[in-house]
Amino acid sequence: MKEGARIVIAAIPISLRAGEPFVLTDGQGGLPHALLAGGEEKIRETLESLLVTRRRVPVACADQLPVRVYEGAGGSRVVELPYLVTARTGDSDGEWTPCYEFLPWEDQRSSHGITLRTMLGERLLAGLTPALTTDMVQVRRKLSVLFALEGRPWRPDLVAERCRALIEAEFLPEEGSSGAAHLADTRCYKWLAQALGYLRKPLPSLNMPVELMPERFTIPQFQASVEGVLGEALDKQAFRRNVSHCGLLEETGGVSDEIFGRPARLFRFRLDIAVARNAQSLSLALPLADAVSRSETIETLLFPSRAKKGSSLPPDET
């Protein structure tokens, strides 16, 4: 880390509930973040201190997202280190909100999401300078790709680029949300979009983070989870063929009684896949809520360093 820089560690906690991606906020649209006190060896400790759970979490993993460096107030250098935190968290403290309440245009499984995505894309196109310069042609082409306009296919993995375009056009955090819930600031939108994009990119090969799924699950449950993260519906037969060829899952030998009709076989991730996942990510040990004073609020639970030091974090610099 560069000496003298202010290092902001941000956690974007995402879990799946009934196949839908949820993100943990402080109840006011903020995401857990704090100033790093110390060197790189304190990153794991800082991330763990940002998150509190009511019951033991078997495994929580953190993946570093793209770093951002900018000049803060007073000319200070600020380095943002956002981390996607994935876990089967259950009923943890905090406010878990569906990701698509903040980014509704990213859910292409509903007519509302499709309509909103099209409307936002067309508004961005309408704001371009009429002159057909080379630059404008390139920008128009880019927006058509991002928002699936002019016959372009939908690209779920470009969520961060879409969010950036909406922020640059000053459609976020308020305008263009069409009644959706709002995140606190543009920085939180960028973090959430980065995290969702990170999850979406490997999904065409069905490479879902192991810790997001139950220990045992059916193929319909797995498909619902993949569709939930991607924000688009997938062909059932094609999905089953892909599962049989992906080499990521194995049968457990049991069947589920949660599905009406014919019992569904249960699967799990292969052991070597789980081991590889654990080796590639940063494993976290999340503190339990019963070890924290009941008098503390969600603010102090999510931002313990701020509560102790009374420090304020640098504002978002765009």
Clarify whether residues 148 and 73 are in a common domain. Answer: no
Clarify whether residues 86 and 111 are in a common domain. Answer: no
Integer Cα distance of 141 and 124 in angstroms: 12
Integer Cα distance of 64 and 237 in angstroms: 34
What is the domain extent for residue 31? 6-99+280-309
Where residue 28 falls (left for φ over 0; alpha for ψ -120 to 50; beta otherwise) is alpha
**Residue 32 domain-assigned?**
yes
Clarify whether residues 108 and 169 are in a common domain. Answer: yes
Clarify whether residues 91 and 154 are in a common domain. Answer: no
**Residue 287 domain-assigned?**
yes
Residue where the block lists tokens 């943990």: 24
- Whether the full predicted model's pTM is greater than 0.85, yes or no, is yes
Q: Of 200, 220, 236, which marks where a domain is finished?
A: 200
**Residue 174 domain-assigned?**
yes
**Residue 186 domain-assigned?**
yes
Q: CB neighbours (10 Å) of residue 294?
A: 6
**Residue 314 domain-assigned?**
no
Clarify whether residues 196 and 104 are in a common domain. Answer: yes
DSSP 231: T
Q: Of 169, 200, 231, which marks where a domain is finished?
A: 200
Clarify whether residues 94 and 149 are in a common domain. Answer: no
Give me the helix-helix angle, 219-230 and 186-200, nearest 10°. Answer: 140
Domain with residue 290: its CATH number is 3.90.79
Q: Work out whether strand 6-17 and strand 249-256 pair parallel, antiparallel, or are unpaired.
A: unpaired
**Residue 67 domain-assigned?**
yes
DSSP 274: H
Clarify whether residues 49 and 81 are in a common domain. Answer: yes
Domain with residue 225: its CATH number is 1.10.10.10
pLDDT at res. 95 = 78
Clarify whether residues 104 and 196 are in a common domain. Answer: yes
Integer Cα distance of 57 and 55 in angstroms: 6
pLDDT at res. 314 = 58
Partner residues linked to 89 by β-bridges:
none
Domain count along the chain: 3
Give me the helix-helix angle, 134-146 and 111-126, nearest 10°. Answer: 170
Residue where the block lists tokens 């990153």: 43
Cα–Cα distances (Å) from 47 to 51, 62, 83, 123, 262, in that order, read 7, 9, 8, 39, 44
pLDDT at res. 299 = 44
Q: Of 136, 168, 200, which marks where a domain is finished?
A: 200
DSSP H/E element including 304: helix 304-309
Integer Cα distance of 261 and 258 in angstroms: 10
pLDDT at res. 53 = 77
pLDDT at res. 254 = 78
Averages of pLDDT over runs of 10 residues in the chain (318 residues) are 77 94 89 91 93 77 95 87 86 75 96 96 87 82 96 96 95 68 93 97 91 93 96 96 93 75 86 91 85 45 45 52
Clarify whether residues 188 and 268 are in a common domain. Answer: no
pLDDT at res. 131 = 62
Please report, for the chain, how many H helices and E strands are present, in that order: 11, 10
Clarify whether residues 291 and 262 are in a common domain. Answer: no
Clarify whether residues 233 and 272 are in a common domain. Answer: yes
* Nearest CA among 209, 223, 181, 197 for reference residue 18: 223
**Residue 193 domain-assigned?**
yes
Clarify whether residues 94 and 105 are in a common domain. Answer: no
pLDDT at res. 293 = 44
With beta carbons less than 8 A apart as the criterion, state whether 316 and 184 touch. no
**Residue 317 domain-assigned?**
no
With beta carbons less than 8 A apart as the criterion, state whether 220 and 40 touch. no
